[in-house]
Amino acid sequence: MTSINAIETAERRFGASNYHPLPVVLTHGEGCYVWDTEEHRYLDMMSAYSAVSHGHANPRLIATMTRQASQLGVVSRAFYSDQLAPFLEKLCNLSGMDMALPMNTGSEAVETGIKAARKWAYEVKGVAPDKAEIIVCRGNFHGRTIAAVAMSSEAQYRKNFGPFPDGFRLIDYNDTEALKATINENTAAFIVEPIQGEGGIIVPGKGYLSQCAEICRQHNVLLICDEIQTGLGRTGSFLACDHDAVRPDGLMLGKALGGGLYPVSAFLARRSILDRFTPGDHGSTFGGNPLAAAIASEALQILIDDALIDNSAKMGRYMAAALNTLQSPLITSIRGRGLLLGIEINPQHATARQVCERLMERGILTKETHNTVVRLAPPLIIDKSKIDWAVDRINATLQSFTNQP
Ligand SMILES: *Cc1c(COP(=O)(O)O)cnc(C)c1O
Confidence label for 4 from pLDDT (cuts 50, 70 and 90): confident
Cβ of 198 below 6 Å from ligand 1: yes
Q: What is the predicted pLDDT for the residue at 3?
A: 83
Average pLDDT in the chain = 97
Cβ of 267 below 6 Å from ligand 1: no
Q: What is the predicted pLDDT for the residue at 164?
A: 97
Nearest ligand 1 atom to alpha carbon 145: 9
Q: What is the predicted pLDDT for the residue at 370?
A: 85
User: How many A from CA of 267 to the centre of ligand 1?
Assistant: 12
Q: What is the predicted pLDDT for the residue at 64?
A: 98
Cβ of 234 below 6 Å from ligand 1: no
User: How many A from CA of 64 to the centre of ligand 1?
Assistant: 25
SS3 label, residue 318? helix
398-405, long-range: CB < 8 A, 24+ apart: 398/326, 398/328, 398/330, 398/331, 398/355, 399/328, 400/358, 401/328, 401/330, 401/349, 401/350, 401/354, 401/355, 401/358, 402/328, 402/329, 402/330, 402/349
SS3 label, residue 371? coil
Find the mean pLDDT for residues 294-304: 98
Find the mean pLDDT for residues 55-79: 97
User: How many A from CA of 194 to the centre of ligand 1?
Assistant: 13
Length of the chain counted residue by residue: 405
Nearest ligand 1 atom to alpha carbon 143: 4
- What's the whole-model pTM score? 0.97
Q: What is the predicted pLDDT for the residue at 404?
A: 65
Contact 208, 172 (CB under 8 A): no
Establish how many alpha carbons lie within 13 A of residue 260's alpha carbon, considering only the half-sphere containing its beta carbon: 27
Q: What is the predicted pLDDT for the residue at 403?
A: 79
Task: Decide if pLDDT at 22 tops 60.
Answer: yes
Counting ligand 1 atoms within 8 A of each CB, the residue from 103, 144, 195, 198 with the most, and so the one to mutate, is 198
Counting ligand 1 atoms within 8 A of each CB, the residue from 107, 264, 367 with the most, and so the one to mutate, is 107
Find the mean pLDDT for residues 218-246: 98
Find the mean pLDDT for residues 287-291: 98
Question: What are the tens digits of pLDDT across the range 170-190?
Answer: 999 999 999 999 999 999 999
C-beta atoms surrounding 268 within 10 Å: 30
Question: What are the tens digits of pLDDT across the range 260-274?
Answer: 999 999 999 999 999
Active site residues: 141, 226, 255
Cβ of 248 below 6 Å from ligand 1: no
Q: What is the predicted pLDDT for the residue at 1?
A: 55
Cβ of 229 below 6 Å from ligand 1: yes
User: How many A from CA of 55 to the centre of ligand 1?
Assistant: 19
Question: What are the tens digits of pLDDT across the range 345-395?
Answer: 999 999 999 999 999 999 999 999 988 999 999 999 999 999 999 999 999
Counting ligand 1 atoms within 8 A of each CB, the residue from 255, 265, 284, 375 with the most, and so the one to mutate, is 255
List domains and CATH numbers for the chain. 4-57+307-403 (3.90.1150.10), 72-305 (3.40.640.10)
Confidence label for 132 from pLDDT (cuts 50, 70 and 90): very high
Contact 42, 35 (CB under 8 A): yes
pLDDT above 70: percentage of residues in the chain: 99
Q: What is the predicted pLDDT for the residue at 137?
A: 98
